Amino acid sequence: MGDNYKVVLLGEGRVGKTSLVTRFIDQEFNPAQPSTVKANMYSKKKLVVDGKPMNVSIWDTAGQERFHALGPLYYREARGAVLVYDVTDADTFEKVKTWHRELRSVVGDSNSIKIVLCANKCDLDPKQRQITEEQGKAYANSVGALHFLTSAKGNINVTEAFMGLAADMLKIDSKSAATSGGGKLEESGGRKKLKLQVDQDGAGEEKPKKKECC
């Protein structure tokens, strides 16, 4: 049971979109992950946020230029989006802005869709970074998105990013301003953690379609 939520992953090729979603769903990381062709749809992930069940379907879209025109086909009816850029590649950060404008033109404003911005590959040497955390946060704030430094390889903030999005999507339905991001926050060891439960009964069922490369 639970409401259905469609989420799309957007960003240029090789920024790590597929690695993020497979880390979140299967707790796996493939250093030789092939590029996604067109799009992969991951089975519904069963989540529980503050006691409310949610079924989240995640669409992993291709970032290569030749597939860019297909993007709007996958945006429709999306209630959440994860925009991903590579912190070591400034061009991917600029392209995220284009993806965001295109997304908004199809699905509308923040009242209809919630967005998380992932600054991926944060595990790499800081000297390689071309985009600072402050730059990422500033842009995220300007478009009403959440911002996370993430690493699929290091399993850094991956669950937290999807947790934050799930809570924000729930906020659209509940229209509650009493909580931050639609989910209840509690202190633990000086860090705020959002209560979210992944339904383990279906944990072995969410596998990407193998006929499309990821």
Task: Could you please state the CATH topology (level 3) that the domain comprising 3-202 is classified under.
Answer: Rossmann fold (3.40.50)
pLDDT of residue 213: 42
Burial class (CB in 10 A: 0-12, 13-18, 19+), 192: exposed
Instruction: Flag whether pLDDT at 188 surpasses 50.
Output: no
Please write the tens of the pLDDT for every residue from 20-57: 988 998 888 766 554 554 456 556 678 888 888 888 88
Q: Domain extents for the chain?
A: 3-202
d(CA 39, CA 53): 26
- Strand segments, DSSP code E, in the chain are 3-10, 39-49, 52-61, 80-86, 114-120, 146-149, 185-188, 191-194, 196-198
pLDDT band, very low/low/confident/very high, at 14 (cuts 50, 70, 90): confident
Instruction: Flag whether pLDDT at 114 surpasses 90.
Output: yes
d(CA 56, CA 102): 22
pTM score, whole prediction:
0.74
Higher pLDDT, 158 or 203: 158
